[in-house]
Amino acid sequence: MNSLLANTPLVMEEETWELRLYVAGQTTKSVTALANLKKYCEEHLKGRYQLEVIDLLQNPQLAEGDQILAIPTLVRKVPQPIRKIIGDLSNKEKVLVGLDIRSLEGFGKA
Amino acid sequence: MSADMPSSAIVLPSLPKAPTGIEGLDEITDGGLPLGRPTLLCGSAGCGKTLMAIEFLVRGIQDYQEPGVLMTFEETADELAANVASLGFDLPAMQAQKLLRLDHVHVDRSEIEETGEYDLEGLFIRLGYAIDSIGAKRVVLDTIEALFSGFPNQGVLRSEIRRLFRWLKDKGVTTIITAERGEGSLTRQGLEEYVSDCVILLDNRVIDQITTRRLRIVKYRGSTHGTNEYPYLISEDGISVLPVTSLQLNHEVSDQIVSSGIPALDQMFDRHGFYQGSSVLITGTAGTAKTTLASSFAHEMCRQGKRCLYFAFEESPQQLVRNMRSVGMDLGTWQDQGLLRIEAARPTLSGLERHLVTIHKLIGEFKPDAVVIDPISNLISVGNLAEVRSMLTRLIDYLKVKGITAFFTSLVSGRNIQQEMTEEGVSSLVDTWISVRDLEGIGERNRGLSILKSRGMSHSNQVREFIVTSKGIRLLDVVIGPTGIVTGASRLTQKIQEQALSMAQQQELERRDRELERKRRVLEATIANLRTEFESVEEELRRINDEENTRQQALSSGRQQVASAFPSEKNPKLNDNAPQA
């Protein structure tokens, strides 16, 4: 990763990450996803994130807004652009890449 | 919104159906789409899948009070609303009335990262919410295949789609799923294996640069259906499928008679004209005055104050008016009075279906009593024979149902004069068929007209020669020569011969009269002679008689004198002799 790109997370570091996890009831996948997500956030974004869990069984009208099709879906609202990760988030590498957390890490270590 | 299936299923043994309200489609499907089941609508790009699906929803809302959900995967709600607004479908208003719900599902692969297990419960929830919020009975999923580009895991997707269709069935909603046509299969992603109840295939074929849309029901489980390919049109009023075979032949018929505009031609028919609402076909080779005959009919209709719609596929209105003025018909005045409308278009301007739409539309607008199409044979250039035939069949049926008298002309090939089979094969559909032809004799052509058939009335069997004069078409009297009906110069020759013959006969007659007169006079003279002779003989006889009498008297008086002179001795003897004298 070159230095030009590595500079961008500097700004992001100041922001509070807004994450939304869409689930449908207490299914195995949903529970797994939530557990996984909490773990990653505590590891990499401690104190800098807000996590909102939306149960579509209770609020089905919210599915349209974020264009939710798959369950579970994790939506990164802030920082922009919006990213979506679907699945139970069991693959840590993919989640971090998807949320663009790895670059932040890389910068921190450097 | 639960599975409240209508109880009609118990009454009727057939499959319960949801009428689409799309013109013609319900007839082909024998009542509509399978109620409460998914139907797959597949076809290539631009053949009107989305439109047909939306019309299904809109008609359901407008005609059957069934709210609908439209879940679109490609176009946004605004785009769709704008697209169908031209058809008079006011989607926003229906949304406001909570009769329709639009949900645009946006799938973007670049935004989605996949990790671990997932399912499409979100889609189910959205759809379920949309259905329940308005109590929808009809659902359209417009191109669900878009999901395949958004989700990399095909295995999950396929099992979820299968689950979705099962779920829709359980919900009891009548669903249309649209899909793109694939190579060698009905759909790109093989959706047909999930939707097994009803599959409708739309097709968009370009033949000779002209597009024709066709619809076919590939399968319809548990129901009878039309198996043909039916052309359909996207018109200003939505989709219209016009099946030939499903239109029933039970239209009203009229007993009124309309004139052909040529009195002598009317006389050839038993009822002196055509039945109103029947279809008349004039076939003939080039230059046999088909257009003039058609114009005569239009002229006559207008003269009687009826409305006539004239489709000219060969001439412009101005040209037609000018040409007809030369034969004593002023079509322009009827145009000005609004009784006649001439629509001219090149057949190649559009496909057959478009022509049919135009014709339907104009008939709807103008409400004519008669329609003239001149000529139908020109339409061959836009379609193949079978298509033209089916189009004309539909048109004739349409006109018959409306009770409009139809007048077609058709050009037939000049190679075979006896060809009494039009290329379009519509002859079996028309009620009255008039054939005009060239009667080519020695060094001249004449026009002959005959009636090949006339349903419901007897007609003349003669081939009548006719001429086009500055006062219109005139049928000539039949002249029968030694070898049949004669025309043209032969007709004149025949006339001259007949005149000569009759003159000779007259002369012969006069000669005989004179002969007789002469004989009479001779006889009379003879009689006079004889009488004179008789008279002279009679005279002679009378004279002799008189002389004899005189002589006798003289003789007797002489004897008396003699007796008185010698009275004594000789008297008795003399007295005995006296009577003997």
Closest chain A residue to B105 measured between Cα atoms? Answer: A67
What integer is the mean pLDDT of A98-109?
A: 58
Residues of chain B with Cβ-Cβ distance to A81 below 8 Å are 111
Q: What is the pLDDT of residue B383?
A: 66
Structure tokens that stand for B75 in this block? 């176009």
Q: What is the pLDDT of residue B525?
A: 95
Q: Using an 8 Å Cβ cutoff, are B131 and B3 in contact?
A: no
Q: Is the pLDDT of residue B308 over 90?
A: yes
- Per-residue confidence at B362, pLDDT binned at 50, 70, 90? confident
CB atoms within 10 A of CB A18: 14
Q: Supply the mean pLDDT for chain B.
A: 83
Are B219 and B309 within one domain?
Answer: no
Are B466 and B565 within one domain?
Answer: no
Q: Which of B444, B476, B508 is the last residue of a domain?
A: B476
Higher pLDDT among residues B493 and B541, named by residue: B541
pLDDT in tens, B251-273: 777 888 889 888 888 988 988 88
Residues 6+ apart with CB under 8 A from B480: B486
Closest chain B residue to A93 measured between Cα atoms? Answer: B115
CB atoms within 10 A of CB B430: 25
Size of chain A in residues: 110
The beta-carbon neighbor of A88 closest among B118, B129, B151 is B118
Answer yes or no: do A85 and B113 touch at CB < 8 A: yes
Percent share of chain B, pLDDT over 70? 88
Residues of B with CB under 8 A from a CB of A: 103, 105-107, 111-123, 125-126, 128-129, 147, 150-151
CA atoms of B197 and B220, how far apart (whole Å)? 6
Q: What is the pLDDT of residue B577?
A: 52
In a domain, B485, yes or no: no
Q: What is the CATH number of the domain that holds B461?
A: 3.40.50.300
Are B217 and B276 within one domain?
Answer: no
Answer yes or no: do A70 and B151 touch at CB < 8 A: yes
Are B264 and B226 within one domain?
Answer: no
Q: Which of B100-109, B168-177, B421-430 has the lowest mean pLDDT?
A: B421-430
Residues of chain B with Cβ-Cβ distance to A71 below 8 Å are 118-122, 125
CB atoms within 10 A of CB B349: 12
DSSP A82: P
Q: What is the pLDDT of residue A13?
A: 54
Q: Using an 8 Å Cβ cutoff, are B116 and A87 in contact?
A: yes
DSSP B564: H
Answer yes or no: do B122 and A94 touch at CB < 8 A: no
In a domain, B422, yes or no: yes
CB atoms within 10 A of CB B198: 26
CA atoms of A57 and A71, how far apart (whole Å)? 11
Q: Is the pLDDT of residue B348 over 80?
A: no
Higher pLDDT among residues A2 and B552, named by residue: B552
Question: β-strands B484-485, B17-18: how paired?
Answer: unpaired
Percent share of chain B, pLDDT over 90? 26
Answer yes or no: do A87 and B118 touch at CB < 8 A: yes
Which segments of chain A are extended strands (E)?
Answer: 17-23, 49-55, 73-78, 83-86
The beta-carbon neighbor of A89 closest among B112, B116, B128 is B116
pLDDT in tens, B396-413: 888 888 888 999 888 877
DSSP A15: S
Q: What are the phi and psi torsion angles at B56 (to 5°)?
A: -55, -45
CA atoms of B20 and B33, how far apart (whole Å)? 7
Residues of chain B with Cβ-Cβ distance to A84 below 8 Å are 111-113
Query: Domain total for chain B?
Result: 3
CA distance A52 to chain B (A): 17
Closest chain B residue to A33 measured between Cα atoms? Answer: B116
In a domain, B47, yes or no: yes
Radius of gyration of chain A (CA): 14
Residues of A with CB under 8 A from a CB of B: 22, 24, 29, 32-33, 56-57, 60-61, 63-64, 67-73, 81-91, 94-95, 97-98
Are B192 and B311 within one domain?
Answer: no
CA distance B366 to chain A (A): 48
Question: β-strands B279-284, B405-411: how paired?
Answer: parallel
CA atoms of B347 and B345, how far apart (whole Å)? 6
pLDDT in tens, B157-197: 888 888 988 999 999 999 999 988 888 788 888 777 777 78
CA atoms of B50 and B394, how far apart (whole Å)? 26
ipTM at complex level: 0.81
CA distances from B385 to A107, B257, B380, B388, B417 (A): 75, 32, 6, 5, 21
Helix axes A102-109, A92-99, angle to 10 degrees: 90
- Per-residue confidence at B513, pLDDT binned at 50, 70, 90? very high
Residues of chain B with Cβ-Cβ distance to A64 below 8 Å are 103, 126
Query: For residue B12, what are the β-bridge partners?
Result: none
Structure tokens that stand for B108 in this block? 């973007």
Q: Which of B208, B241, B274 is the last residue of a domain?
A: B241
pLDDT in tens, B383-397: 667 777 777 777 888
In a domain, B528, yes or no: no
Query: B563: domain range?
Result: 552-581
Answer yes or no: do A70 and B111 touch at CB < 8 A: no
Residue with tokens 């609303």: B81
The beta-carbon neighbor of A87 closest among B107, B114, B121 is B114
Q: What is the DSSP string of B93-114?
A: HHHHTTSEEEEEPP--GGGEEE
Structure tokens that stand for A101 in this block? 């957390």
Q: What are the phi and psi torsion angles at B572 (to 5°)?
A: -60, -40
What integer is the mean pLDDT of A28-47?
A: 85
H or E segment and range at residue B155: helix B154-171
Query: Domain total for chain A?
Result: 1
Query: For residue B312, what are the β-bridge partners?
Result: B344, B374
In a domain, A108, yes or no: no
CA atoms of B174 and B177, how far apart (whole Å)? 10
pLDDT in tens, B439-452: 777 777 888 888 88
3-state class percentages of chain B: helix first, strand second, coil last, to nearest 5: 45, 25, 35
Answer yes or no: do A71 and B121 touch at CB < 8 A: yes
In a domain, A91, yes or no: yes
Contacts of the segment B328-332: beta carbons below 8 A, 24+ positions apart:
B328/B469, B328/B470, B328/B471, B328/B472, B329/B295, B329/B296, B329/B299, B329/B472, B331/B295, B331/B298, B331/B299, B331/B302
Are B155 and B124 within one domain?
Answer: yes
CA atoms of B452 and B280, how far apart (whole Å)? 11
Q: Is the pLDDT of residue A1 over 50?
A: no
Substitution target from A67, A88, A89 for chain B, most B beta carbons within 10 A: A67
CA distance A75 to chain B (A): 9
Are B106 and B133 within one domain?
Answer: yes
Q: What is the CATH number of the domain that holds A95?
A: 3.40.30.10
Ordered alpha helix ranges (H), B482-570: 488-565
CA atoms of B300 and B295, how far apart (whole Å)? 8
Are B181 and B221 within one domain?
Answer: yes
Are B219 and B307 within one domain?
Answer: no
In a domain, B533, yes or no: no
CA atoms of A15 and B18, how far apart (whole Å)? 55
In a domain, A107, yes or no: no
Query: For residue B342, what are the β-bridge partners?
Result: B310
CA atoms of B163 and B168, how far apart (whole Å)? 9
pLDDT in tens, B560-577: 888 887 655 555 555 555
Q: Using an 8 Å Cβ cutoff, are B221 and B197 in contact?
A: yes
Q: Using an 8 Å Cβ cutoff, are B360 and B401 in contact?
A: no
The beta-carbon neighbor of A73 closest among B106, B122, B126 is B122
CA triple B296-B301-B304, angle to 5 deg: 125
Report the b/e string of B122-133 with b at 16+ CB within 10 A: bbbbbbbbbbee
- Per-residue confidence at A5, pLDDT binned at 50, 70, 90? very low
H or E segment and range at residue B355: helix B352-366
CA atoms of B385 and B388, how far apart (whole Å)? 5
Answer yes or no: do B118 and A98 touch at CB < 8 A: no
Q: CA-CA-CA-CA torsion for B169, B173, B179, B182, nearest 10 degrees?
A: 30
The beta-carbon neighbor of B125 closest among A24, A72, A83 is A24
Report the b/e string of B174-186 with b at 16+ CB within 10 A: bbbbbbbbbeeeb
Residues of chain B with Cβ-Cβ distance to A72 below 8 Å are 118
CA atoms of A105 and A9, how far apart (whole Å)? 9
Sign of the alpha-carbon dihedral angle for B406, B411, B413, B419: positive
Q: Which of B16-25, B50-59, B108-117, B162-171 has the lowest mean pLDDT?
A: B108-117
Cα B332 from chain centroid (whole Å) = 25
- State which of B101-110, B125-134, B465-474 shows the largest mean pLDDT: B125-134
Q: Using an 8 Å Cβ cutoff, are A85 and B112 in contact?
A: yes
Q: What is the pLDDT of residue B245?
A: 46
Query: A78: domain range?
Result: 3-101
For residue A99, give the 3-state DSSP assignment.
helix
CA distance B33 to chain A (A): 28
CA atoms of B128 and B167, how far apart (whole Å)? 10
